[in-house]
Chains A and B, each alone.
Chain A
Amino acid sequence: MTLLAIEGLTGGYGGADILHGVDLRVEPGEMVVIIGPNGAGKSTLMKAAFGLVKIREGAVLFERRDITPLRPDQIVRQGISYVPQENNVFPSLSVEENLEMGAFIRTDDIRPQLERIYNFFPRLGERRDQIAGSMSGGERQMLAMGRALMLDPKLLLLDEPTAGLSPLFIDQTFERIRKINEAGIGILMVEQNAKQALAVCDRGYVLTMGRNRIDDTGANLLANKDVAEMFLGG
């Protein structure tokens, strides 16, 4: 059963449409990357899947259920978590409190899940009492992902997870994302570091002017001459 299916999506933020009939799907456990030039609507497409965009036409289906009319707080309960590109932690809360907020809607004991996150991101475990606002960009990105994983989602939406990180942290972040994916969590991400993203993903979509341009496996996109010329620096 297809995890996420976006069908003929048209919409934007209330003004002119940014997306013009986009189709996209993510199968269970798959890692899918959206690449494309600035202003192509990549982040908008991802936000549309999370109820943050005014959708005029088309539909978003999650496990065949229509989630188009749902609000973000309802979508989170369906099993999708979203990590925004910026401002993705609660700066005055501690690391642990940030994670607890990620699990706000859970009523069961969250200790085991907290420990799993700390095992996965040992850095967060060492700094559980640190105030999130005082952490480095890379650490915040880990925390943001940790927060999103607290609900054990089936699908994780990542908006440019490596933006603004140093090359060392970029590699580490891709490695983490691949491990999350190996645990069976579907991943849909927007990435500027197209080359690295395509190398780790299962499939990729090239978006231009709010429309699908090309979609193929990561490896094929990497080998595609047009894609290379457009986004991969020749």
Chain B
Amino acid sequence: MTEFLQLVIYGVVLGSILTLGAIGVSLIYGILRFAHFAHGDIMTMGAYFAFALVVGLGFPIWASAPFAVVGGALLAIAIDQTVYRRLRRVQPIILLISSFGIAIALRSVVQLIWGPHNQVYASGIQMPYRLGDLVIKPDHVWIVLGAVVLVTALHLFLTRTKMGKAMRAMSDNMDLALVSGIPSERVIMVTWAVGGGLAAVAGVFLGMDTRLHPVMGWSLLLPVFAAAILGGIGRPYGAIAGGMVIGLSMELSTMVINPTYKPAVAFALMVLMLVVRPQGLFKGNA
């Protein structure tokens, strides 16, 4: 029982990270209609932006995170304006392949600047909280709380602001948004800012939970996509449920199979979902 509950805690932590990544993937798919393969590497970039501040300027990690968010948002906008914007009217597969190229380029930049080795925000031992037999690291609390705050903020943005509503409208019906006079390029820019910013936090949280490495985000891309698809791609709210389901499944699976196969669990769930219910748990936009 203790093992189960302990894994649930790990699952919620992983689920929070996956959710933040999957929301961006889902929003971008909803509006630009392509699977953004560089999303994992934007997560990596976000993690290293924070790392630069922690190591270079001695910032505590919580103070670096907001800068990483801004960095991730600006990076995503810059990539869109220089690369994807030229490809707005081509087939989605071409955008997908180009995002694959961006992913490799970002990873190489990280390796060039920070090297190919594992790195950590803070070395030394963190004293965990103990709840009976359960062990909870302070970082885990921050990660889950951070995700809850950000998801709540996103919800308010999507339902209370004109720009948030316009994002949902464009995802619903691009042609009608156009004839209503909604400025699509501005909405696309905000979508990248939100998606890139959330990806950057996800990267920082992943770095806090484990360690920093140039392929940290890339290796999480599959579970992130699994979460987005499970929730019904194009539906940011579905991504939250999808992230939690995938995170919990991956961690709980280690009770019965070797932890090495965790990504395989995400992959299996994604394939199963595509076969059984391709529209997602909730009706998606695919």
* Interfacial residues, chain A to chain B (CB-CB below 8 A): 50, 52, 72-73, 76-77, 82, 84, 87-93, 97-98, 100-102, 104-105, 147, 151
Contacts and interface: CB of A to CB of B under 8 A. Distances in A.
B172 A77 contact: no
Contacts of B173: 87, 89-91
Interface of B is mostly: helix
Interface of A is mostly: loop
A149 B178 CA distance: 16
B181 A100 contact: no
Contacts of B169: 90, 93, 97-98, 101
A93 B173 CA distance: 11
B137 interface: no
Interface stretch (B8-16, B160-168, B188-196, B263-271): B160-168
B172 A92 contact: yes
Interface residues on B, range: 10 to 19
B165 A101 contact: yes
Given A90-B173, A91-B172, A91-B173, A50 B165 contact: no
Interface string B135-161: 000000000000000000000000000
Contact of A93 (B168, B183, B184): B168
Task: Across the A-B interface, give the 7 residue pairs with the lowest CB-CB distance, nearest first.
Answer: A76-B181, A90-B172, A105-B181, A90-B169, A101-B169, A104-B182, A82-B179
Nearest to B184: A73
B123 interface: no
B181 A151 contact: yes
B172 A73 contact: no
A100 B177 CA distance: 12
Nearest to B187: A104
A151 B166 CA distance: 16
22 contacts: A72-B178, A72-B181, A73-B181, A73-B184, A76-B180, A84-B176, A87-B175, A87-B176, A88-B176, A89-B176, A90-B168, A90-B176, A91-B172, A92-B168, A93-B172, A97-B165, A98-B169, A101-B180, A101-B182, A105-B181, A105-B182, A151-B181
